[in-house]
Structures are given as C-alpha cells and as structure tokens.
Amino acid sequence: MWEEGKMETQELWKTRRQAEDSLIAELKPFADLLSETFNSIDNIIARLELLDDPFGRVCGLVLIKARNLGLGCFSLSLDALAQEAGALFRPLIECLELLIYFRSEPSRINKALEDRLPIAGEIAKKIEGKCKDLREYLNKYASHLSLSPEAMRHLVDFKSGRLRPIQVHKTAVLRENLKTLLAVLVWLAGVAVDCNSIGAGVVDNALVDTFEDIKRRTLLLLDEAGHR
C-alpha cells in the first residue's frame, strides 16, 4: 500500500521534476536571473522597512505581496499550470501599478493609510497604465472560473479526444511563461528601487547598480530568446 501511494505521489510531481530538470539545463539562464531578481526584491523590501515611515512600510507591504504572487506564478508554471497562475498574475500586475501610483505622487500613501485607495482600474487610468488589455484578458479567462475555450483548451488532448487531467511539461512553453514573469518582476524591482529612493530622499547607488545589472542581462536574454 505504501509503495502504491509513493508511486502516485511521484506521478503527481512528475511535471514539476521535468521542469526542474529544464531549469538546470536549457532554461538555466532564466532560473538564474529569476533567482537574482527575487533576491534583489528581498533587499529592496529590507531597505523600505528601514525607512521606518508610512511610505516605506506601505510600499514594503505591497512589494512583499507582489513577491509572493510572483513566486506563486513561478511555482505553478513549473507544474505546467500557467493558465491557472493567471489568477495570481492579475493581482501581481495590480501591485506593480499601485507602486507606480505611489511613485508618481508619494502623498497618495495617505489614501492607503485611510483605506481610500481607488479601485485597480482607476489606478491604472491615473498612471496611464499599459496593462489594460492584459488585465481584462486575465479577468475574463483566469481570475474567475470560465468554461470558454481559451480557459479550458489546455485540459483536453485534441489528438486523442480525451480529457487531460495532468498537464505535461513542455520546455518551450515554460520558457515563454518564464520570459513574461521575469519581465514583470524586473519591471516591479525597478519601480520599487525608485520608491526606495523617493522615500529615503537619496539614491542608493548599490541598490540601483544591482538592479541595472539585472535589467541589462534580462534585456539581453529576452532579446536572445525572441530570436529562437
């Protein structure tokens, strides 16, 4: 009985193990940069906390939430559940836009303290956000249960005409999902660095230099991946 249960558990995580194999082989550049980006975000969170004022605390909390959502997206992608990860990706975008909202006008932090923040759509309008179409797509097909073809096609094996309860690993698909996640997390880190500079009243050159190096290498990797 124990051996049978062990085999079932191994099957449950088969897709993730295959994805992890890809992360130490073909997709290692993405894995390395994602790890560096998460580390950079952690450092920014620590710097924001050191500001010891409402701006730093609120920005730090938003950044922690964004970090956790990004990590959740990463984890689900390893299980070939990127479509389901869309339910986390949408609030990740909202965290990004909220930090841009605070960066644009730091006094807006008072709205957060008084629980008077505009809804996500209004925030996006005020910052002239570039993610409206993406947010609407995620809202329609990922954030809520939908039986539309766009939301359900990955659950069907069209060759055999049968349902597909276990999502299979495909390195090319995982690469595309990691490209998107990495791009958003690096964007998020850049906005967070700006927020730290605004809150501190001085630029943290070490923090900026680390971010700029990650950004430079990310752009090179994304450009290289785009020509595959």
State the pLDDT at residue 11: 75
The contacts of residue 195 (CB under 8 Å, 6+ apart) are 48, 55, 59, 99, 102, 103
Within a domain: 18: no
Task: Return phi, psi of residue 136, to 5°.
Answer: -65, -40
Asked if the structure places residue 26 within a domain, the reply is: no
Domain assignment of residue 87, yes or no: yes
Instruction: Measure the CA–CA gap between 20 and 110, rounded to whole angstroms.
Output: 43
Handedness of CA 8, 27, 136, 148 (dihedral sign): negative
pLDDT of residue 151: 62
Structural domain includes residue 17: no
Within a 13 Å sphere around the CA of 153, how many CA atoms are in the beta-carbon half?
4
154 and 163 Cβ atoms separated by less than 8 Å = no
* Residue 12, domain member (yes or no): no
Whole-prediction pTM: 0.87
Instruction: Let me know if residue 23 belongs to a domain.
Output: no
Radius of gyration of the chain (CA): 20
Task: Please tell me the chain's helix, strand, coil percentages from 3-state DSSP, rounded to the nearest 5.
Answer: 80, 0, 20
Count up the domains in the chain and report the number: 1
Helix (H, G, I), strand (E, B) or coil at 124: helix
Q: What pLDDT was estimated at residue 35? A: 98
| 123 is a domain residue | yes
- The CA distances from residue 105 to 40, 126, 189, 227, in Å, are 24, 11, 18, 39
Q: Which pLDDT score, from 0 to 100, does residue 163 have?
A: 77
The domain containing residue 200 runs over which residues?
36-226
pLDDT in tens, the chain (228 residues): 445 555 456 677 899 999 999 999 999 999 999 999 999 999 999 999 999 899 999 999 999 999 999 999 999 999 999 888 888 999 999 999 999 999 999 999 999 999 999 998 899 999 887 776 666 666 665 565 666 767 667 767 777 777 777 888 999 999 999 999 999 999 999 999 999 999 999 999 999 999 999 999 999 999 987 756
Give domain status of residue 103, yes or no: yes
**pLDDT at 2 (0 to 100):** 44
